[in-house]
Structure formats: C-alpha cells, structure tokens
Structure 1
Amino acid sequence: MTAPLDLTLTGARVLRPDGWSDAPLAICDGHIAESAGRAVDLTGYEVLPGIVDPHGDGFERHMAPRRGALRERDAGMVACAAELAANGITTAMLAQFWSWEGGMRGPEFAEEVFAAVAAVAPTVPVDLRLQLRLETHYLESFARAEAAVDRWGITQVVFNDHLPHDRLAEGRRPPRLTGQALKSGRNPEAHLALMMRLHAAASDVPHALDALCARLAAKGVAMGSHDDRTPEGRAAWRARSVRLSEFPETMEAARAAREGGDGVVLGAPNVVRGASHAGNIAASEIIAAGFCDALASDYHYPSPARAALRLVELDILDMPSAWHLVSTGPARLLALHDRGQLAPGKRADLIVVDRESHRIVATLAGGQVAWMSGPVAARFLG
C-alpha cells in the first residue's frame, strides 16, 4: 500500500464529534491531526467519518459470481474492497455463514472466504474483518467452526437458526426445498433428511450452545444473535454472554436488548426500502423509539449512506445523529475505539461527499486513498 497522505482539508463542511464545523481538517501519518501539510481546497464538499459496517454479506457476488463457473477468491475480495470504499465503508465486518445449508453457506466456502480475506486484507486500505455466522443446530460442525475462529483470528461469532421448525415438526416439506438442495449440492431427499435430523436433535442445542459460548467468551470473541423475536429469547442469549442483537424482528425484542444493556444492529436496506423484506417491523420504527445503536449494510453496500440520508428526509433524526448510526455507533459496538469520529488521534477514515448530489466522491481509509472519482481528484492532485 502507498504511504498515508499528509494534508489539510480546507473549505469543506466537516462533521466532527460536536457537530458541523467549517474549520480545516488535518491528516498526518494515517490519523486526524492538529496540523498537517499541503492544503486541499474542498469548497462545495462535506467531509464525514468513514462508515463502519458491522455486518454485510455483499461480498458473495464477488467471491462466487456464477455458481460452479468461476473461482477467483482473492481477486473477488480485492473487487469487494473497492466496492466498499466506493460506498464510503472504511471498516467492514464480512459476515460469512457456517451452515448446514451448504454451498456458499457451507464450511468449505467459508474457509475459502477466510483465506481470501487473510491474503487480501493487508494489501488494501479498507479494514476487512471477519464474522462467522454459525447455525445453532449444526452441532456436528461446532468443533470445526471453533477451530476456524482460532485459525483465522475471527473476532465475532453470530448465531442463526434457519431451520423451518414449524414445517418440519408437522412433517411437511419446506418451501423452495428443491432449489435450496441444488445450491447445497445435495438432492432434495438428502437435504430434507439432514434438516429433519438437525430438527430432531433440538433438545441437545441449549447445552451445546452454553458450552461453546463459554469457550468463545473466554477467548474474548464477541458474540451476537440474529433475528431475535422475544424478550425471553434475548435474555437467554444474554445469559450466554451474547450481547449483540442483530436485526431484531419486533419492537419488544429491541426494547429488551436496550434495557438489558445489549447492542442493537438494524439493516440499512430496511430503512432505505421503508420496510423489512421479510415482513417484520420497519427499522425506522425501532430507530424512532431510540433502540438502535448501528446500521449495517446487510446485503447491499450502498445502503448505510443512503439510510442515513433517508432518516433525515423522514425527519426521524438530524444528520449528525443519523451518521452516528453508521460511524461512531458501530465502532463502539465493535470495540474499535480508534475510529468512527473525526477527532485528533483517531484513524483518518473519512469520506468526501458532494454537497449538491450527496454522492460519495472520495474515501480515505487510514489516511490512504481507497476510492476517488470525478472532479474532486483534481483537488487532491493539484
């Protein structure tokens, strides 16, 4: 990578911890500084903290652009880093499934993703991090998943349960079984038999989770639960030291998380769309109630920046408060205290936005250029 820039940004409106400011912003040695070198006139632009994305799986399209046809893992991750930067994301938690569902959600694919991130992360400005999304009923793979956490230095594990328990309990075939089976590389009968076996072992799950969570907590691995629906369910996870609630599906679950001191992550695409694609509560309602700590890209990297603007348009939050949900808030949840704000000593993670179009035109990560496009480039090169 190139050396960090040594610059003073002038003329722009800058979003600092205490609000908007017209004062110059200095960058030196990869950090926000009190003073720095050559001045760059950014009149007509805004400068905001870089986006910290606490959960996103949009990298899948780069890692496997066509099932069974192309395997360019490292190149795909490089392309992903460029897409992240183009959307203002300077720190990305790459959420990779570890699931009985197989295919792009199976352990084999996950290990390829982890290897690609290990190879590419040191070579790009954007900070690429790993989240392992473990299926709660995939007990036979817990040991392998834990070994992957150790091997790749994974700092976060989030628990999911995608088994259609109601259908399986009634002995009915789940919807879309054939298509899901084909993606997993199994025939439909074998796929259904696996699902039935995992469902039948449900009574073994709580004890296995208790033991696994205790081991992960002892290693300092942060943990979260996915799609909480009830206060009781959130309390059960909290008892296991699982202190992050990702995408709670009800107001009650979100409130229970906040009252219990847990972090709450919601989906930015939900805010942009105006509703959950799965028919659950709208994220904007939970945000308006004050129960959200961070917004995540989920499956669409442009959405965090768009969601912040949408919250302002809907008069739910002002811009500093809305941007907090994609910068300072997620940085705190991830215990990344060196970023998320444009303050002296913090990492120089920032984006430059055209004030008229609201388009991101430049992204700096750790003081290095991660993305730049259009007329603003002449300002930096001049």
Structure 2
Amino acid sequence: MSWQITGGQILHDTLSEGALTLASGVIGTGTARHQLDARGFWILPGIVDLHGDAFERHLAPRRGMVSDLGANLGFVEGELAACGITTAWLAQFWSWEGGMRGPEFATRLAHALKATDLRLDMRMQLRLETHMIDDLKAVVDLAKETGLDYLLFNDHLPHKALESGKKPPRLNGSALKAGRSPEAHHAMMHALKARDAEVEGFVRAVMQALPDLRFGSHDDDAGLRDVWAARGVRIAEFPVSREAAVAARAQGHAVIMGAPNVLRGGSHNRGSVSAGDLVAEGLVDALASDYHYPAMIGAVFALVDRGICDLAQAWRLVSEGPAQVMGLTDRGILEAGKRGDLVILCPERRRVMGCFAAGRPVFLSGALAERLG
C-alpha cells in the first residue's frame, strides 16, 4: 500500500508546503496509489513515547478485571494513534507491590506484546524494583524471550518509614492492591529493606546479563544520579531536581521529563523541579507521556505558547529526541528513507486528524477522513 499526502505544511526546521509519499513502510518520493489531501493541516514526525502507563485502564479497568491482553492492546493502540504516538514503551512494573505491578502481570504483558499483531511499534519498558533480588533469572529470561530493550531501575520501598519504625503511608491501600493483609505487606517491606546491601550486586548482575539493553534510573536527586551513573546507567528519567539534571548532562547521559509536568506548569510532587524550566535551560532530551498520553501534544503547545521553544524545537522533544535516546536512527524526522511514521494535525484545534505508522494508516478522523472520498 502506498500513499501520497499533499497540500499540508510539513515540519522540518520550520513548516513549509510540500508532499510526502509513503511506500514500503518508509518515506519516499513520487506518486502513490492512494491520495490524501492534507490542506490546512500540519504534517509532523510521529511521536516517540519512552514511558507511558495510561494503558493500564484498558488492560485492567477494575481491580482483578484482566481478560485477553492481546485484544485489549488493540484499544491501547487506538488511543496512542489518536494522540499521535507511533512508537510507545508501555511502562510496566516488576515489583513486590503485586497486582498489575507484579511479576506475573509483567510476564503476561511482555508475551502479549510479542504475540499481538499491532500497526504501531509498541514495546515494554520494564520498571524493575531494585529489591527484587531473587528474581534475577526470571527477569533475564523474560527479557531474552520477549526482546525487551529498555529496563528502568525503580525503588518504591518507603525507606524512611521503615527505618523509623513508623507505619508506611497508604499501607492498607497498597496491601489491598497486592492481595495481602496489611500486616503481611508491612512484614514483606521490612524483609526487602533488610537486603539493602545486596542491591548493588543485583543491579550489576542484571546489567551484565543484558548488555544490549538500555538502562535508566527514576526520580533521581543529585546524589542518586551520581550513584546510577557510576553503575553505568545512562538515562535519567524524571529527575526531581535541577542539580540531578545538570549532573546527568555533565555525565553525558540523557534526561527524560514528564509531559504532564510541562503541561501543568510544574510537578505534582511538591518540591520537584519544573520540567518546563529544565527545557528552557536546554537540559531535557525527551518528554514522555507518563500517566496521560494526550499530554505529549499538550506539552509541545505549552512550550510554544510560553515562548520557551519554537514548534520545531518543542516537537523534537517528543520525536527525534526520544528516538535518539533509544538509538533509533530510522524515525523521529520526516526524511526520505526514514520509517513512515507521521502525524497529521489540525493547528487550530490542536487535534490529531491522522496517524500513520510504517507507512500505514492507523487513525483518520474528521475532515481528513472525509477527504478520502
């Protein structure tokens, strides 16, 4: 199937009139079998989302209600395409927290992603809790079996509460999600905390066993960023301070921030750094959707409206920037020979009208769909 998209304004360094041909999955030149009139719309590179967990409501809309993950991934794909996201890492925990964050669910999701025929490029980012020390073999086996390419180290243990002997915050709710009594859940936290000294060896063993993966750390302050850098972890996701972002840049490592943080004008966590401020300083390589897929486009326009970036600079943070973080040289820009991933956007409504992935339509809406005749 081949398409020629004409009449729209194409984003390179600036917006300019032009036409694009999609054939054999890539951007090319010349004529095509199918024509699409994009007059009045912008044609932009497909969005690359390195961390999003909004898929959870499609896979388990109520606690315990998890059915056919393969079928439900189709609904996730539809939402992603409607938000202009053509490459997405689904951020999935492997955690002592249990439920949808537990190893069993992560295993199911990884295999479902591998087995399901999807038009978008959908992958899994495994958010591995640093104290899941006994699961080394299971994690490594899953990564190798399913082609995992991105692993994020995470630590959700409430260390201060456990060290002080206080009851951890939200203990009853987290125990309920895990299917444990509060007493058993609290005891398990203490048992994991007692293994702090083993974390260093566990992290290094994971990285040694999976040398081809990209590894990230999450919610770093400046001190933690130095620790993770010493371990060879080259991606700093959602650093909580300016100092941590500056440290990551000085180390030559990538900084990823949340698009919702940009959109709302600051972090929802009191005291954490504003992503918009970091973008203004040139300290951000990529934005990620975090918990809200529509925030990617919303953040782009927030940056433009506030005068922090022009459109090309802001869009790069959701396309070419994240692609480069993951070493994907075949996407992120609209150039001959690149993968045919693109978004057709109505600039007045700031709404996605069409989305193509690998040269194939995944989403068409409104006036754009009506022009197919």
Shorter-chain TM-score range: over 0.9
Once residues 207 and 368 of structure 1 are traced to their aligned partners in structure 2, the CA distance between those partners, rounded to angstroms, is 45
**Aligned residue in 2 for 1:368:** 360
* Equivalent runs, 1:286-325 vs 2, <5 Å: 286-325=278-317
**Aligned residue in 1 for 2:122:** 128
**Aligned residue in 2 for 1:179:** 173
Once residues 213 and 40 of structure 1 are traced to their aligned partners in structure 2, the CA distance between those partners, rounded to angstroms, is 46
**Aligned residue in 1 for 2:266:** 275
Q: CA deviation at 1:142?
A: 2.3
Task: Decide which of 325, 333, 336 is 1:344's aligned counterpart.
Answer: 336
Q: CA deviation at 1:45?
A: 0.7
1:221 corresponds to 2:213: yes
Alignment-mate amino acid for residue 261 of structure 1: G
Once residues 364 and 222 of structure 1 are traced to their aligned partners in structure 2, the CA distance between those partners, rounded to angstroms, is 26
Q: CA deviation at 1:250?
A: 0.3
Could you give the per-residue CA deviations for residues 130-165 of structure 1, whole angstroms, max 9, x where no partner exists? 111100112122221121111111011100000110
Once residues 26 and 290 of structure 1 are traced to their aligned partners in structure 2, the CA distance between those partners, rounded to angstroms, is 34
Alignment-mate amino acid for residue 119 of structure 2: P
* Equivalent runs, 1:193-208 vs 2, <5 Å: 193-208=187-202
Q: After the TM superposition, which segments of 4 or more aligned residues of structure 1 sit over 4 Å from their partners?
A: none
**Aligned residue in 2 for 1:103:** 99
Q: CA deviation at 1:193?
A: 0.4
* Equivalent runs, 1:227-238 vs 2, <5 Å: 227-230=219-222, 232-238=223-229
Q: CA deviation at 1:282?
A: 1.1
Once residues 212 and 7 of structure 1 are traced to their aligned partners in structure 2, the CA distance between those partners, rounded to angstroms, is 44
**Aligned residue in 2 for 1:27:** 22
Could you give the per-residue CA deviations for residues 267-318 of structure 1, whole angstroms, max 9, x where no partner exists? 0011111111112111111111111000001111111111101100111100
Return the TM-score normalized by structure 2.
Answer: 0.97
1:117 corresponds to 2:113: yes
**Structure 1 unaligned runs (5+)?**
none
Once residues 293 and 213 of structure 1 are traced to their aligned partners in structure 2, the CA distance between those partners, rounded to angstroms, is 23
**Aligned residue in 2 for 1:145:** 139
**Aligned residue in 1 for 2:67:** 71
Q: CA deviation at 1:39?
A: 4.2
User: What fraction of aligned residue pairs are identical, expressed as a percent?
Assistant: 47
Q: CA deviation at 1:28?
A: 1.8
Alignment-mate amino acid for residue 359 of structure 2: G
SS at the partner of 2:366? coil
Alignment-mate amino acid for residue 260 of structure 1: Q
* Equivalent runs, 1:156-195 vs 2, <5 Å: 156-195=150-189
Alignment-mate amino acid for residue 52 of structure 1: V
1:84 corresponds to 2:75: no
Q: CA deviation at 1:129?
A: 1.0
Alignment-mate amino acid for residue 275 of structure 1: G
1:27–1:36: 8 Å Cα contact kept in structure 2? no
Alignment-mate amino acid for residue 33 of structure 1: G
Q: CA deviation at 1:7?
A: 2.5
Q: CA deviation at 1:40?
A: 2.9
Alignment-mate amino acid for residue 256 of structure 1: A
Alignment-mate amino acid for residue 282 of structure 1: S
**Aligned residue in 2 for 1:259:** 250
Once residues 67 and 164 of structure 2 are traced to their aligned partners in structure 1, the CA distance between those partners, rounded to angstroms, is 39
Once residues 42 and 212 of structure 1 are traced to their aligned partners in structure 2, the CA distance between those partners, rounded to angstroms, is 48
2:140–2:209: 8 Å Cα contact kept in structure 1? no
**Aligned residue in 1 for 2:327:** 335
Alignment-mate amino acid for residue 88 of structure 1: G
2:8–2:40: 8 Å Cα contact kept in structure 1? yes
Once residues 65 and 98 of structure 2 are traced to their aligned partners in structure 1, the CA distance between those partners, rounded to angstroms, is 17
Once residues 201 and 183 of structure 1 are traced to their aligned partners in structure 2, the CA distance between those partners, rounded to angstroms, is 23
Alpha carbons of structure 1 residues 214 and 69: separation in structure 2 relative to 1, 3 Å = closer
Return the TM-score normalized by structure 1.
Answer: 0.94
SS at the partner of 2:197? helix
Alignment-mate amino acid for residue 365 of structure 1: A
Once the two structures are overlaid, the 10-residue window that deviates more, 53-62 or 201-210, is 201-210
SS at the partner of 2:292? coil
Once residues 7 and 74 of structure 1 are traced to their aligned partners in structure 2, the CA distance between those partners, rounded to angstroms, is 29
Once residues 211 and 354 of structure 1 are traced to their aligned partners in structure 2, the CA distance between those partners, rounded to angstroms, is 48
Alignment-mate amino acid for residue 10 of structure 1: T
Could you give the per-residue CA deviations for residues 200-249 of structure 1, whole angstroms, max 9, x where no partner exists? 111121122222222222xx11100011101x322221222210000000
Alignment-mate amino acid for residue 231 of structure 2: R
SS at the partner of 2:337? coil
The aligned length equals 371
Could you give the per-residue CA deviations for residues 8-57 of structure 1, whole angstroms, max 9, x where no partner exists? 222211102x3222122222222111223254321111110010001111
SS at the partner of 2:137? helix
2:37–2:368: 8 Å Cα contact kept in structure 1? no
